[in-house]
Structure 1
Amino acid sequence: MTFEACAALVERGDPDRFRVAMAAPPTARRVLFPLFAFNLEVARAPWVTREPMLAEMRLQWWRDVVETSAAGDPPPAHEVAGPLGALIREGRLDPATLDAIVQARRRDIEAEPFRPDDLRAYLEGTAGNLLWASAAALGEPSVHRDAVLQAGYAAGLSAWLQALPELAATGRGLVDESLPAIRALAEDGLSVLAQARRMRFGPGIPALRAASLAGTFLFRAKRDPEAVLEGRLSLAEVAKSSRLLWVTLKGSW
């Protein structure tokens, strides 16, 4: 039940967010790694079993961890639940936001394609709430919550479009996977991201860097939606690292 275990889990399972955490100040990493590890565990829960009831039970277990910690009690012994629970008890993480992330992941249990409105609600509930939880934990004021959720939606959409071929193969793609429909999604994400970028953020900027590549991916999807369907939307790791280094040195996202 250590911070180091959370960092190792994120490094293996979510390298993009691992880089974001490592680019943040050491004090911020103490929050980001347990939070990102929690997100990874919750995101995996509906996928590790084909039995909907077992998936529901896994997600409920994490809801119970959050609820127990919010009540001031120690959570069950677990490499992520321990550090996460400590942050909740210290008031660093909002249990309501964490619970919303778990609830949103219930949609992954259903092997059903998304309509645009459903997809937006899902991505705001998952990636949006995660970005807000991390930014708020670093001190971003609540008045910026909506803008952070917008940035999170855009980041979530860019990641979701990169994974679309695999998702579609499991029945969790789009109801309409035409090129115009994909282009419209990318345009929506770019519009939302532009609105978020007009906000002057403060101490939460290290967390917001998780959305630093969203514009690049969404612009590519808009220009070449066929690349989304063919799984050609990814970037080389060196390009991702270079972009993160650039925005970190600039103090932006």
Structure 2
Amino acid sequence: MAPADRSAGALVLGATPLGDARDASSRLAEALATADVVAAEDTRRTRALAAALGVTLAGKVVSCYDAVERARAATLVEAVRAGQTVLLVTDAGMPSVSDPGYRLVAECVAEDLPVTCLPGPSAVTAALALSGLATDRFCFEGFAPRKQGERERFLAALLEEPRTAVFFDSPHRLASTLADAVRVLGAHRRAAVCRELTKPYEEVRRGTLGELAAWAGEGVRGEVTVVIAGAEPCTPAAEDLVEAVRRRVAEGERLKAATAAVAAAEGVSKRELYEAVLAAREGE
């Protein structure tokens, strides 16, 4: 691939506040004031944000929401190629994370045009941090599907997922999603529902899926992010590992060595597994 054209402009992804305009970075305010083109998911909300920040939008403001992003991308890429700075902002959070932006970024990357970002608010990491659940490993699953069958398959993929899962949902469908989660994942799986983050009515509900489903049944409003604990590791019973030990012994390994290796790999007691192997022999 040819080296990047240093005379080209840049595509700048600007993270916007989730609700409180004071969370906007000074770099975002500067970018809004100086960008040649501001591509906005909702131009009215972007103008309102600029006004709240005391910023005048000097550049051209164009819409770039899901339905028009593909068609708009060629024009915006051409603007970057021509040396202009294109600032992409969505209604809240980082563009391209379950928001418009992926296609535009991909096309700029394909042409080796500069792409950078102004980091900032993120509903995903904010909800994860507030959930009280494990944060060392997590996966983001986008939006929960609208249709029940697709939603159940979506949740089934989390049945044995060891990482904490984060996803967005509509407040109108949250009760149905959590009811499905109870059926698929079990009522006792830990979870949290974060709504209206950084806004006056911010609320974080923590508990089991069963408890949260009962709460959501009364009706929920606002922007919603759901966090579900990862699956607990399942340690097999010693009796279920007898055959694995037998296979290793049949291949020439000594019984105690085979038992120790299988026990270590599966996280069970070496003594209990050895006794299970002996008991199985006696029962034959």
TM-score of the aligned structures, taking structure 2 as reference length: 0.28
Larger relative helix fraction: 1
TM-score of the aligned structures, taking structure 1 as reference length: 0.30
Larger relative strand fraction: 2
Structure possessing the higher relative contact order (Cα contacts under 8 Å, 6 or more residues apart)? 1
